[in-house]
Amino acid sequence: MRTLHADTGYLLYRLGLRSGQLFNTFLQESGLRLRHYAVLRYLATCEGALQRELSARLGYDPSAIVGLVDDLEKLGFAERRPAPDDRRSRIVVLTEDGRAFLRDTDQAGRRVTDELLTPLAPAERETLHTLLARVAGNGLA
């Protein structure tokens, strides 16, 4: 009989839960959650994104994106602007305050990752990252 720990999918699920818990604890002071952080991190990689693009890339329901962007706008971390190629559409962009927040959280984010990966040697961490990036590139944003 197989145990749950013999199932890779279950282990990834459990690791995801633990990672989310640690990140949410670390973000608690700011009033943000991991979902907000993911939006900010994505926006840091581009010059702006339509809300439907955020939904598709991050795998969040479109209605959830609206609330997340509203929260980030209230904090001054993101703003909606007219899309350069279609003035009827709005893109979400990261503000300087949002960039500063991400810079300020970089070290804490690394500590969360370090805590999750404590049992692994540096070379194993690199291998895990490479493998996860390959799997994530196969259908995930």
pLDDT over 80 at 2, yes or no? no
% of the chain residues with pLDDT over 70: 95
Task: Give the per-residue pLDDT at 84.
Answer: 84
Report the alpha-carbon distance of residue 66 to residue 85 in Å, rounded: 21
Task: Give the per-residue pLDDT at 69.
Answer: 96
| Ordered domains of the chain (ranges, CATH) | 27-111 (1.10.10.10)
Task: Give the per-residue pLDDT at 83.
Answer: 86
Give the pair of three-digit tokens for residue 79: 């703003």
Helical (H) or strand (E) element with 90: strand 86-94
pLDDT digits (tens, 9 = 90+) for 99-140: 999 998 888 888 889 999 999 999 999 999 999 889 887 654
For residue 76, report the phi and psi dihedrals to the nearest 5 degrees. 80, 15
Q: Where are the alpha helices (DSSP H) in 28-87?
A: 34-43, 51-58, 62-74
Report which residue type is found at 74: K
Could you tell me what percentage of the chain is helix, strand and coil, using 3-state DSSP and rounding each to the nearest 5?
65, 10, 20
Contact present, 88 and 96 (Cβ < 8 Å) = no
Contact present, 51 and 57 (Cβ < 8 Å) = no
